[in-house]
């Protein structure tokens, strides 16, 4: 099912996240995307913690990133997170990372799989999650 739920959240590049060139280290982008994903879920009223308490895990199945321009120390970054598709047990998150000037720095994608906590087998998304997503979709 195609979806178009979007959420924005911000993070600031910390000094320890930069390399000797003053660029934000490339490995930090996965963490920034995770922040965007967690906050998008929270904005739906569906936290990772609540899902896990209900016996649902969401391991990452695939991760992609494309770097356009670097982020620098103390940059305030906006992470635009879009839930774009759910197909069976898989959910797709797309990301765009912008600096304060609105310049696109990177784009990414993760696919996660809804998994039963006990059996560790893929499962359908919880109906309550789908309901919240449909009610909050930006179509």
- Residues labelled catalytic: 19
What does the alpha-carbon distance between residue 58 and residue 91 come to, in Å, rounded to a whole number? 9
Give the number of other CB atoms < 10 A from CB of residue 26.
13
Non-local (6+) Cβ contacts of 79 within 8 A are 8, 9, 10, 11, 32, 33, 35, 36, 39, 95, 96, 97
**DSSP labels, 88-113:** TTEEEEEEEEE-TT--EEEEEEEEEE
């Amino acid at each position: 099912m195609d979806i178009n739920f979007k959420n924005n959240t911000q993070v600031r590049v910390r000094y320890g996240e930069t390399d000797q060139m003053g660029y934000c280290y490339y490995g930090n982008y996965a963490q920034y995307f995770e922040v965007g994903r967690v906050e998008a879920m929270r904005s739906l009223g569906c936290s990772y913690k609540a899902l896990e308490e209900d016996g649902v895990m969401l391991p990452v199945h695939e991760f992609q990133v494309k770097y356009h321009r670097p982020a620098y120390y103390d940059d305030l970054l906006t992470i635009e997170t879009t839930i774009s598709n759910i197909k069976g047990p898989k959910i797709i998150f797309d990301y765009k990372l912008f600096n304060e000037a609105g310049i696109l720095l990177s784009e990414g994608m993760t696919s996660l799989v809804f998994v039963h906590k006990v059996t560790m087998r893929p499962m359908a998304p919880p109906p309550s999650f789908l309901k919240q997503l449909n009610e909050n979709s930006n179509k």
